[in-house]
Structure 1
């Protein structure tokens, strides 16, 4: 047998065969708990399938299969109800010869949802035949308690313990003692109109149906850690509580409607998905990165998601800032890539993280989260004038600036670069963190330490924002120092990173300060902080929208002319919606609105072909083909926070809306709308404790505004 070789750089890569890509998987998620299942509502245990119910980084349930008299029911339809995140499947029966039941005479409805640490299902069975019928309905369960990294394909170097069932008369219990010393268990409790019995991990219900009279089966699964116990709620109670919480969280967002029904669906689906990813922490609600692989706090992802929705939901940014400030590194810990002042990359709670088999329990291997944290703080203050929060996190902001100067720029050349310290950490530490994502034009991978172009842009923005915030505390000398450092960085950056022949900023400088002369989407991130010189920004805009970079479904991560281009790769030619949103936002800063519209239209067009209009983490970078949607990337997260947040930043970029609570102004600067949006109605834009409402109408001769409600002390400026 040939030995399988796994290179160190690829260890954390998610293998495309981690899922059976020829089957349709559905996802329901709520905070730390999510479920991946098939269209019938089942979880199949065979193959490498990602299907299962997960909680806190562990797959508790790897089998949940419904059958009738041992036969598989026939799927009629299945869908997620977009307003309340409940999955509903309609099934019917095949021919059941032994009980003389004809096909399609029994209707089985399944309704499923998850809450924090729990899964609920209601099954309704109704018979349309003329006579009574009798059969068994069976639910088979199993729990494997695998760590999410095992599902991703990482082989463990230690042998895990086996799970063990504990049999009870009226409920199931399965336990697992992890190598981290933590006991994990699940309990399955039933409430049924029909008589039932439990045999090992199978519940058998005797269904005696009278025509046109339903039988209802309810059950819940609790996922427990250690000595934890949960209150037992009925299906109805849990559903009502979930809907109440969903409606409360909707109040975090300003309401936006348009004249385009499909665009409204995209907005609503994106808001619903982002709400489902908001997890309650001791520091507020944090947007987890994405399901299934990244359902945990990520610094960079949380910051960018908060930026995308800042104009309509500043509360998200506030909680992100508080969480990351509380988890900022204070010590030098090489095995965590931690240095004083550095902002968290990710935090994990699973068994492999707890035992140290992977370094991600509290991991800081990111070069960009720290300057992005400072930028978000500055943007949040401009949006809210919340000086109390800035006072609270000002020591964290200064510590982050100190990290940039002392640890980020460790060779003293004025640019921030990275090289990983921990042996089993991430090789590349920008947002494109695949081992092969930073390269030269000859396809050779760049040697560290690596200075990414977008990171210099983030550092520039961080110093400008920190300089402005320093003035709030009367620290003019510190402010002046930061502004001067930012100005020098901007000059040096435009001198060293701009490539006239490419009409683009180079991807990076390698450890020998040799430029990586590759056209990439990273260069587009040099726009939203305005580090790019104005003339270079205009040239860059055209470069990004050229055919080698722009597929018709969005801007590719890498030019199709590059030697390492692969439209089916993770970072070397694919299309990421959040990447496009940030680029569009940057283009709007320079008034390049025709380019913004092209990006907006491409991502919207893509959404129309995607199930639920739930824009995923990424899709493949193939050219747009008439009548065919974008090609899916097999293991993309969906929902993913910064992908579902993209629609809001794209709309903001078209509107060129700036909400400034410090000056109490709402500015629209040369707004443009795509042809499919004749009207945009901003119903409840939150201004501290006041509301702003207006309608924007698109017409042949431009755009008209109808202001419906405005606080007296706020000014609307239309340019």
Structure 2
């Protein structure tokens, strides 16, 4: 994983990860380089002046799409006496441009040999992630009089990087160079343009039609300003909330992804660097989080996922009719079916969540037309729940991969290999049924019943769905409850044996509404009790469980996205104080990450570490972590659509002060919401 001295800039489909000097010198296992659509287009981009590498004075990642590097020749001891300054300014937006400026501070003229070594291994992102670079095609480099062409071809799969400059350069197969004479106090500039091409059968660039701002800084700046202007304004007496909100909006803009062949529409990509692509679960949950702030993302996501809904049985891709995809990839390994992500359908939660998002979007937007447009897809998703997901025949959603080579073993959101276990730490056999997915299925049926009755003109289907949901709720509360622990099991094995560990998944059960009312207080007690609650957030797995590890990916780390849905679930069942506690912990943690919550951070007790410990390989930015503060704001203010209006029922953490959210969009037009937290009397007394 790239270290802390890396600089990242991105714009939807394209991103650059470099050293703090701006150089790129990738190894097969390092996610540094220029990437687009799961391919590394530059793996080497090294600047030298008179044969000497440069050293960084400082760098600024000014916006998500641009960065500036201030460099000098020589080692650190020579900085004060440096006679040259070198500034690298780069912008990424569909392609990649870098402006190089060199200033001569000497009293005499200088002659400089300026060179950029450039190369590409055209590694598939999966190959970088798995640290295996096994290219089966042909790499080539062609120096032309006015450009350098780097390429890779394997059958009809072809990728190219074309480098050109606005100043005359000498090109060779390993880069390009300039000979520059600078008088005292003179400066020299060059604009370097890097274009990337994904060439398919017939020589057509597959990227045509994608959202593209170009790489002009003003166009990108205008796009960002327009994005922020459309969103509600958040002001807070406690500055952390407003600052974190703005950081989330900017990161959400950066993560807008345009799938190929879908007309430039955008949906949230999952996260940098490994997951800059379309996901089912991640995109849907992010859309649910940001609905009050960026509702247009939901409409696009629903349409795109509906268009790619499963239509057949395909064991390689774990596809079934009606199933919503898990992940779509565009690199070499997907193109040649060396892995199944073209697309891959191996998740069991995206399908019910698709129905949940459609209903929630309509409740906010009043967009009845979309509910009618996606009726067929919605019914197909519900049929999948009943006809294809019940692998055991007892009315629950189960999973077991059919692609045993490269498919996911665990197909719930906690998809690491060891995330589902019994209390003794052993792993259950397959198929497995994860608890929160049953809650999603219950919620999907309740919501689909409303849509069937109000918009599809099918009251009989609505009654059937409500009956099935009630039966599921009763059956679930009987089969999943762990009597001696007072919580719901994480999962069931095919014999009905409970994975009787205490986990954060029980908070998702509150969100879905499947928890019996008389059991909800016990669940709330667990969620903010000492085993799950760290002071920063709810752990994925409770302290004291055999597999608990505070930096275990799904076995003890804290996920901000997870906590946002836990808080929403607590609020649904009336536990407003507990929801505010969760929101306060996560928003406190955000201040230690400059407002950008990582994918996950350590589940250590707050009193022990005094600051949140970042998970070592967490994605950043990551979509549903970016969405977490927005859902927490919604939860704290109690924002809920109600009979065509926006209801506001605030409950802020003690000492938070005043928060206002202005111009909240929805079927009501745009409205404002205000809240004030109670005073911290303890601190006042002190």
- Structure 1 length normalisation: TM-score? 0.88
1:215 aligns with 188
1:344-378 Cα shifts (integer Å, max 9, x gaps): 11111111011111011111111111110011111
Structure 1: distance between partners of 2:672 and 2:647: 14
Name 2:44's counterpart in structure 1. Answer: 63
Superposed CA offset, 1:651-695 (max 9, x none):
1111111134xx2211122x1223564222222211348322344
- Paired with 2:75 and 2:378, the residues of 1 have a C-alpha distance of 67
- Choose which of 619, 641, 645 in structure 2 pairs with 1:637: 619
Sort the Cα spacing of 1:236 and 1:356 in 2 relative to 1 into closer, same or farther, 3 A. closer
Cα shift at 1:155: 3.9
Aligned-pair CA distance for 1:482: 0.7
SS at match of 1:110: strand
Asked whether 1:256 is paired with 2:237, we answer: no
For the pair 1:589 / 2:572, whether they are aligned, the reply is yes
The CA distance in 2 between the partners of 1:50 and 1:583, in whole Å, is: 32
Show structure 2 runs of 5+ residues with no match. Answer: 682-686
1:92 match: 72
**Aligned equivalents of 1:614, 1:573: Cα separation in 2:** 21
Deviates more, 1:251-260 or 1:591-600: 251-260
Distance 1:65 1:262, change over 3 A: farther
Q: 247, 250, 259: which is aligned to 1:269?
A: 247
Match of 1:183 in 2: 158
Offset of residue 159 of structure 1:
5.0
Quick check: 1:288 aligned with 2:261?
A: no
Taking a change above 3 Å as real, the CA distance of residues 428 and 348 of structure 1, as seen in their structure-2 partners, is same
Paired residue secondary structure (2:41): strand
Cα distance in 1 between the residues matched to 2:551 and 2:76: 45
Report the counterpart of residue 370 of structure 1 in structure 2.
Answer: 351
Structure 2 contact 419–554 (Cα < 8 Å) conserved: yes
8 Å contact kept, 1:567–1:620: yes
Match of 2:367 in 1: 386
Give the equivalent residue in structure 2 for 1:706.
none
2:435 matches 1:453: yes
Partners of 2:366 and 2:666 within 8 A in 1: no
Verify the 8 A CA contact 1:345 1:364 in the aligned structure 2. yes
| 1:20/1:48 contact within 8 Å kept | no
Q: Does 1:442 align with 2:427?
A: no
Give the conservation status (yes or no) of the 8 Å contact 2:285–2:624. Answer: yes
Matches within 5 A, 1:558-577: 558-577=541-560
Match of 1:713 in 2: none
Q: Superposed, which structure 2 residues align to 1:189-228 within 5 Å?
A: 189-192=164-167, 196-226=169-199, 227-228=203-204
CA contact (8 A) 1:95 1:103 kept: no
Aligned match of 2:684: none
Choose the corresponding residue for 1:333, options 314, 317, 320.
Answer: 314
Report the counterpart of residue 144 of structure 1 in structure 2.
121
Partner-residue secondary structure (3-state), 2:24? coil
Deviation of 1:590 (Å): 1.5
Q: Is the 8 A contact 1:96 1:103 kept in 2?
A: no
**Local SS of the residue matching 1:138:** strand
Aligned equivalents of 1:96 and 1:304: distance in 2?
47
Q: How does 1:18-33 map to 2 (within 5 A)?
A: 19-21=1-3, 23-33=4-14
Distance 1:483 1:236 in 2: 50
Question: Could you say what secondary structure the match of 1:528 adopts?
Answer: helix
Q: Could you say which residue in structure 1 is the equivalent of 2:652?
A: 673
Change (3 A) 1:326 1:177: same
Aligned pair partner of 1:51 in 32, 36, 39: 32
Contact 1:467–1:483 (CA under 8 A) maintained in structure 2: yes
Q: Give unmatched runs, 5+ long, in structure 1.
A: 1-18, 703-719
Equivalent residue number for residue 386 of structure 2: 405
Distance in 2 separating the partners of 1:385 and 1:366: 29
**1:141-173 CA distances to partner (integer Å, 9 max, x unpaired)?**
1100011111011647x7522411011122111
Post-superposition offset of 1:601: 2.0
Quick one: distance in 1 between partners of 2:462 and 2:76? 79
Q: Tell me how far 1:512 sits from its aligned partner.
A: 0.8
Q: Does the CA-based 8 Å contact 2:481-2:488 persist in structure 1? A: yes
Q: Is the 8 A contact 2:511 2:569 kept in 1?
A: yes
Residues matched between the structures, number: 668
DSSP 3-state at the match of 1:121: strand
SS in 1 for 2:353: helix
CA RMSD of aligned residues (A): 2.5
Q: CA deviation at 1:37?
A: 1.1
Aligned to 1:14: none
**Aligned position for 2:84:** 106
